[in-house]
Amino acid sequence: MKIANILYDHAADLLRSIFDWRLSGQPVLDPAVYFPASGRFSAAWQTLREEALCIADKLSTVPRFHELMAQQAAISAQDQRDWRMFVIKAYGVMFPENAARCPALAELVSSNPDVLTATISFLAPWKHIPEHRGPFRGVIRYYLGLSVPQAPDGLPGTVLTVDGTDYRIASGQWLLWDDTFAHEVRNNTDEVRIALLLDVRRRGMPPDMEVLSRLLIAAAGTAVRFRKLA
Q: What is the pLDDT of residue 3?
A: 46
Contact 73, 10 (CB under 8 A): no
Kindly list the distances between the CA atom of residue 98 and the CA atoms of 44, 50, 51, 55, 63, in Å, as whole numbers in the listed order. Answer: 18, 15, 11, 10, 12
Among residues 57, 223, 178, 200, the alpha carbon closest in space to that of 118 is found at 200
**pTM of the prediction?**
0.90
What amino acid occupies position 147? S
Distance CA 176, CA 200 (A): 10
Q: What is the pLDDT of residue 145?
A: 98
Distance CA 24, CA 19 (A): 8
Kindly list the distances between the CA atom of residue 188 and the CA atoms of 135, 149, 150, 158, 165, in Å, as whole numbers in the listed order. Answer: 27, 9, 9, 6, 17
Contact 124, 79 (CB under 8 A): no
Among residues 115, 99, 94, the alpha carbon closest in space to that of 55 is found at 99
Q: What is the pLDDT of residue 15?
A: 76
* SS3 state at 161: strand
Q: What are the structural domains, with CATH classification, of the chain?
A: 27-229 (2.60.120.330)
Q: Largest Cα–Cα distance of the chain, in whole Å? A: 49
Q: Which residues of 35-56 are buried (b: 16+ CB within 10 A; e: fewer)?
A: bebbeebbebbeebbebbeebb
Q: What is the pLDDT of residue 228?
A: 66
Q: What is the pLDDT of residue 6?
A: 46
Q: Which ranges of the chain have pLDDT less than 70?
A: 1-12, 228-230
Q: Are strands 174-177 and 139-147 parallel, antiparallel or unpaired?
A: antiparallel
Based on the number of CB atoms within 10 Å of its own CB, is 154 exposed (0-12), middle (13-18) or buried (19 or more)?
Answer: exposed
The predicted-structure confidence for 107-140, as pLDDT tens digits, reads as follows: 999 999 999 999 999 999 999 999 998 888 889 9
Distance CA 197, CA 67 (A): 18
Question: Which phi-psi region, left, alpha or beta, contains residue 25 (left: φ > 0; alpha: ψ -120 to 50)?
Answer: left
Residue ranges of E strands in the chain: 83-90, 93-94, 115-123, 128-132, 139-147, 158-162, 165-167, 174-177, 183-187, 193-201
